[in-house]
Amino acid sequence: MNANESKTTFSRFSTVTKYLGRYRWYLVVGVLAVIGANGLMLVPPYLTKLIFDRLETGSPMSEVGLLVLAMIGLSIASGICRFTIRRTIIWMSRHLEYDIRGELVAHLLKLSPSFYDKNRTGDIMARATNDLEAVRMMIGPAMMHIANTLVVATGALTMMAMLSPRLTLYALIPALVFPISMNKLGNMIHRRFLKIQEHFAHLTAVCQENLSGVRVVKAYRQEDHEIENFADLSEHYFKLNLSLGRLHAAFYPLFQLVATSLMLVVLYVGGRDVIRGEIELGTVVAFFLYLGMLTWPLIAIGWVVSLYQRGTVSLDRINQILNTTSDIPTGCAEPKSDEKSVRGKVEFRDLNFAYDEAPILNDLSLTVEPGQTLGIVGLTGSGKTTLVALLARLYPVARDQLFVDDIDINDWDINALRRRIGFTAQEPFLFSATVADNIRFGRADASIDEVAQVAQLAALAKDVDEFPDRYETMVGERGITLSGGQKQRVAIARAAMIEPTILILDDATSSVDTETEYEINQRINAHAEQLTTFIVSHRVSSVKDADQIIFLEDGRIIEQGNHEVLITLGRRYADLYRAQVLAEQLESL
C-alpha cells in the first residue's frame, strides 16, 4: 500500500483525536453518565443488605417498602444514565466514523491512478468499511466498557471493603486468577485464530483458482481430484477450528467456575462469620450482589483488549491511505494561462517515461499545432495509451518534457487543464446512472437539449431513441446493458459535452463500425474546427485522415508523416494498412 512517497506522517491516533475536540461535550457527559450509572448501581445491593437486616430484626414493613421504592428509583436514575452513555459515547463514535470515512473518501478521490494500479479495489473498500468499523468499535464500545469496568471495579471493591475488609480479601484471591488466565487463554485463542485465518485465505485462493481454471479442470477431468483435494483442505480447516473450539469451549465454563467459586468462598467464609455472629446475613447477601456486578466488567477487559488490538491494526491500515499523497502536482500558485484562451498546442520534448523500472516512452519528440489531428498507431504495449494518459495528467511527467500552449504541463492548474481536455478510453467506464447523467457527467448543468445535441454528434441519438426511457434510461447493472459500441459512443458524447480544446480518443471507436466512426469524426470536425485531436487506434481507418500519424514501437516513434507519406514509405504502417484492407474484404464476403 506504499504506492506513493509518504510525505506527512501522522502519529497513529491523530486521525481520531483531531476530531475528538468537536465532541468533547459528548465525552464529558458520557464519562459523567458512566460514573453516575455505576455509582447508582452500587447502592441497591447495600439497600438489599439493609432490607435483610430489617427483616432479621423484625422492623416494620413500611421501612422495607421505602427501601424497595428507593431501589426502584435508583434503578430508574441509573437507567437514564445508561441511556445517556449510549446516546453520547456510542453516538460520538458514529460521528467519528462519519468524519473519518468522509476524510478517507475525499482523500481517495484525489489520489492519482498509480495508487489505484497498485491496490486492489476490494482492499481499498475493506479499509473504508471493515477497518473503519473496527476503529469505531475501539473508540465507542471499547471506551464505554473500559469506563464501565473502571468505575464498577473501584466502586464495588470500595463498597465490599467497607462492608467487610476480611471477606473482600478472601473473595479476591480466586478473582486474581481472572486477569491472568483470561489473558493467557486470550493469547492462545489469538494465535489459533490467526492460523485459521491463514488457512481460510489459502482455501479461498484454491477455490478461486479452481473456479477460474474451470475449463482446464473439466477438460482434464480433474473434478473428482479437485473435490478430494478440497475435502482435505476443508478437513484441515475443520481441525483447526476444533482446536480453537477446545479453547472457546473452555472459556465460558472456566469463567463461570471462577465466578461462582467466588460466591462459594463468600458463602463459606461469610456463613461462618454469620454463625459466629461477626457479621450479618445481609452483608453476605450484599456481597453476592457486588460479586455479580464485578463479573461482567472482568470479562469485558479481555474483550476490550482484543478490540483495541484489532482497532489499532485497522487504524494503521486507514492511516496508510491517508498518508499516501498523490504523485501528480495539482498546479502552480499562479496560473500562467487563462483557461478560456487555451489554444491546444501540444509539444513533447525528449519525453521519457517509466511506470516503475521498465521504460515505456523513450526520447519522444513531437509537436501538434492547435486544431491539428494526430493519429497514433502501434502494437499492444508500444506506449500509445501512456502517451495520451500523460497529456491528461493521469501519471506524473518530469519537468521540461511536455508542454501545452508552450507552458510546462507541471505549471498548469490541473483542474483548469482537465477542463480543456476531453478524454475517452477504449473500455469506457460508465456509471450506473441514466444515459443523460452519464453524458453530462462533466457538466451537470447541461440541459437535456444539449445532451441530445452531443449524442447526435457521437451518432448515439438513434440508439437512444430505442431505449425504453430514452435519455432517462438507466445503464449498467440496474438498467439496460449497452453494447461495446454504444458505451464507446456515450463516452465520446461525454467528452464532447465539456467542449474541450483537446480531444483524446484512446482507441475510443474500436467497437464502432467504420462507417459510423467516419460519421462521428466528420461531425466532430465540423462542430469544432479548432479542436486539437489525438486519436489512438488499432485501426488504420481511424487515423487515415489525420494531419500527422506516428507509428510507435517500444516507446519510440519509428514512422511519422501523413497517410500518403507512410504508405509510400511502404514499411510497418503500410503493412498494417494492407492487412486491414484484406480483413475488411474478408468480412464482406
Q: Which is nearer to other proteins, 122 or 165 (CB)?
A: 122
Q: Which stretch binds other proteins (CB under 8 A): 74-82, 187-195, 344-352, 400-408?
A: 74-82
Tell me, what amino acid is at 299? I
Q: Does 565 bind other proteins (CB under 8 A)?
A: no
Chain positions 437 to 496 lying near other proteins, rule: CB under 8 A, are 441-442, 444, 477-478, 494
Comparing CA positions, the residue from 403, 279, 269, 418 lying closest to residue 346 is 403
Exactly one of 429, 462, 466, 564 binds other proteins (CB under 8 A); which one?
Answer: 429
Q: Identify whether the C-beta of residue 344 lies closer than 8 Å to the C-beta of residue 530.
A: yes
Beta bridge partners of 437: none
Instruction: Give which of 370, 368, 364 is closest to 349, Cα–Cα.
Output: 364
What is d(CA 368, CA 557) in angstroms, rounded to the nearest whole number?
A: 14
Among 167, 421, 458, 502, binds other proteins (CB under 8 A): 421
The per-residue b/e assignment along 105-114, b for 16 or more CB within 10 angstroms, e otherwise, is: eebbeebbeb
Q: Which is nearer to other proteins, 228 or 406 (CB)?
A: 228
Annotate each residue in 264-283 with x if it binds other proteins (CB under 8 A) or - if it does not, as one string. x--xx--xx-xx-----x--
CA distance to 111, 502, 540, per residue, from 495 (Å): 22, 10, 22
Site for other proteins in 295-324 (CB under 8 A): none
Q: Which stretch binds other proteins (CB under 8 A): 3-11, 145-153, 427-435, 526-534?
A: 427-435
Should residue 195 be labelled a site residue for other proteins when binding is judged by CB under 8 A? no
CA 520 to chain centre: 39
Which regions of 380-438 does DSSP assign to beta strands (E)? Answer: 402-404, 407-408, 421-424
Binding piece for other proteins, criterion CB under 8 A, among 15-23, 63-71, 160-168, 454-462: 63-71
Site for other proteins in 570-589 (CB under 8 A): 571-572, 575-576, 578-579, 582-583, 585-587, 589
- Under the binding rule (CB under 8 A), the answer on residue 122 touching other proteins is yes
Q: Which of 191, 220, 465, 483 binds other proteins (CB under 8 A)?
A: 220
Minimal distance, residue 11 CB to other proteins, in Å: 25
Q: Map grid coordinates 489525420 to a residue.
A: 546
Which grid cell is 491?
463516452
Which residues within the stretch 42-61 sit at the binding site for other proteins (CB under 8 A)?
A: 44, 48, 51-52, 54-56, 58, 61
| Residue 340 one-letter amino acid | K
Should residue 90 be labelled a site residue for other proteins when binding is judged by CB under 8 A? yes
Question: Where in 371-400 is the site for other proteins (CB under 8 A)?
Answer: 379, 392, 394
Name, in order, each residue with C-beta under 8 angstroms of 202's C-beta and a sequence gap of 6 or more. 233
> 430 with 487: CB under 8 angstroms?
yes
Residue 340 engages other proteins in binding (rule: CB under 8 A): no
Of 242-261, which residues contact other proteins (CB under 8 A)? 242, 245-246, 248-250, 252-254, 256-257, 260-261
Task: Please classify residue 232 by burial: count the beta carbons closer than 10 Å to its beta carbon, then call 0-12 exposed, 13-18 middle and 19+ buried.
Answer: exposed
Binding residue (CB under 8 A) for other proteins from 183, 187, 208, 530: 208
Scanning residues 280 to 299, which ones bind other proteins (CB under 8 A)?
Answer: 281, 284-285, 288, 292
When binding is defined by CB under 8 A, the residue of 498, 503, 508, 549 that contacts other proteins is 498
Place of cell 446516546: 87
How many amino acids of this chain bind other proteins (CB under 8 A)?
141
Q: How far apart are CA 233 and CA 236, in angstroms?
A: 5
Does position 358 bind other proteins by CB under 8 A? no
Euclidean distance between CA atoms 21 and 34, whole angstroms = 20
